[in-house]
Amino acid sequence: MQGGATIVMAVMVISSYAVSIFMSRAMGMKGKAVSIDQLHEIGNVPYLHEHYVSRGKVEEIIQGWLTQAPADGVHPRVFIEGMAGIGKTALAMFAVKSTVGHFWSGTFWLQAKSSSARTVLSYFEELHKRMSDLFVPSLSVSQKGQATWRLDEFVVSINGMLERRTCLVVLDGVQSPEVVEVMLQLKCTLLITTQVRSMLSNQTQFKHADVAPMDIDNSHKLFLKLVPNGVQQEGVEKVLESCGGHPLALSIVGTLFQDAMTPARVGKEADVGHLVTKLQDPRCRLQMHIKSETILHIPDVEKHSTVMRCFDFSLDALNKHEREMYVLLAALPPRSQATTHQLGAIWHLQDDQALCLAKKLERYCFLQKYVPSDDPNVTSNQWGMHVLQHDYIKVLREAMLHNVQQ
């Protein structure tokens, strides 16, 4: 009797799975376009903040890549890459907003987590549920049945729902190539934000957009959206320059000025002057806490409340030895560039070892590689850091020296 019950249960699970696939494909004909409300409520797409400032040509490039027709059955796969806090998520939000007409069937936003096998499976569970809610809300697949599904069963069912539909899946904040490799099985366009440059670089169909810091004009625009009268304050120009076009730093500074310039505050001029003085200290710039977390993407609040915290989380990509080598780069002058040989001298490494470490740091956006210029005296790659990263490692080195002295 027990064996019979087991067989019946297995048949029910298989039937549930088969019905899921059949209904998914049957409902795959082109229907009405997804509404904006569905995009946010079912697709989990975050709202683009009002203070967003255009990132220029890179927006057009990403939009063009995303809307390309599939080639040989392979849909576009686009990576937005860059250092922590540089605005990758905001750029992805803009890309979603600007291509909503193209992806008429829907866009689905997934927030990256760790890369364990269970977490990878959870992405597909979430994506399957969101697609089912949007495409086949009448489909009733038992939760008990789905709980036994393997990853390949979710992939088949999701791809069934994607047939004859035009969809975009966004995976925000990926650090592991294993997650991306599984996502490649989906028959739709993928947009991935990551702090890892050239992830899965052996895949030639991938497009990579490296997000650069804002220029000074756009830095002004971002700051003015948060503080309309802010640039009139004495010393603000130097504060903005010290942010190096880093959107998170500019946003944090903007909320601090909002607070200091609030009409209700007594002696606000003194508050503004005091704030400008404090922000001249690199340590303060890194550790000043954002005054209004509403301007941040909600899942990023924990990691982006200060620039220091944002950079701290990014260090998880390095082991202990690599972190120690990275901190030694505090010896470089700010805004300078160094050759591989010069880095090796700082690290006490041979040139080939220094190049290997520099490439690792560059891959995780701790270093920027500059190709040789037209100057005939420059014949090899140069390496440099963002000004805030230089401030950051100086603070880290001071802390390390302080701990040693204690």
Reported as a single tens digit per residue, the pLDDT across 362-401 is: 999 999 998 766 665 655 789 999 999 999 999 998 887 7
Among 286, 291, 212, 200, which Cα is nearest to 254's? Answer: 291
Architecture, CATH, for domain 2-210: 3-Layer(aba) Sandwich (3.40)
Return the pLDDT at 374: 60
pLDDT digits over 142-182, tens only?
A: 454 677 889 999 999 999 999 989 999 999 998 888 888 88
Share of the chain above pLDDT 70, in %: 82
Between the alpha carbon of residue 293 and those of residues 77, 88, 214, 223, 262, the distances in Å are: 31, 18, 21, 16, 17
CB 315 within 8 A of CB 175: no
Q: How far apart are CA 220 and CA 212, in angstroms?
A: 16
Least confident of 80-84, 114-118, 197-201, 260-264: 114-118
The pLDDT value recorded for residue 175 is 85
Contact 183, 171 (CB under 8 A): yes
Nearest-CA neighbor of 270 among 233, 311, 304?
233
Q: How far apart are CA 356 and CA 344, in angstroms?
A: 10
pLDDT for the residue 66:
96
pLDDT at 6: 44
Name the residue with higher pLDDT: 405 or 64: 64
Confidence of residue 293 (pLDDT cuts 50, 70, 90): confident
* Calpha distance 200→182 (Å, rounded): 12
Q: pLDDT higher for 176 or 9?
A: 176
Instruction: Please state which CATH class domain 318-405 belongs to.
Output: mainly alpha
Bigger pLDDT: 270 vs 333: 333
Give yes or no for residue 5 having a pLDDT over 50: no
Judge whether residue 82 has pLDDT over 70. yes
Do the beta carbons of residue 247 and residue 222 sit within 8 Å? yes
Position 65 pLDDT exceeds 80: yes
Residues 292, 258 contacting (CB under 8 angstroms) = yes
pLDDT at residue 10 tops 50: no
Say yes or no to pLDDT of 25 above 50: no
- Domain residue ranges of the chain, discontinuous segments joined by +: 2-210, 216-301, 318-405
Note whether 95 and 63 are within 8 A (CB).
yes
The predicted structure's pLDDT at residue 12: 41
Ordered strands of the 77-81 beta sheet: 106-111, 167-174, 189-194, 77-81, 206-210
pLDDT at 61 over 50: yes
pTM of the model: 0.86
Nearest-5° Cα angle at 274, 272 to 278 = 115
Tell me what the pLDDT averaged over the chain comes to: 84
Partners of 191 in beta bridges: 78, 170
CA distances from 325 to 319, 328, 337, 353 (A): 10, 5, 17, 12
Alpha-carbon dihedral 242, 367, 113, 198, rounded to 10 degrees: 130
Instruction: Please tell me which residue, 109 or 200, carries the higher pLDDT value.
Output: 109
User: What residues contact residue 299 under an 8 Å CB cut-off, 6+ apart?
Assistant: 111, 172, 173
pLDDT for the residue 404: 63
Of the candidates 95, 106, 78, the one whose C-alpha atom is nearest the C-alpha of residue 162 is 106
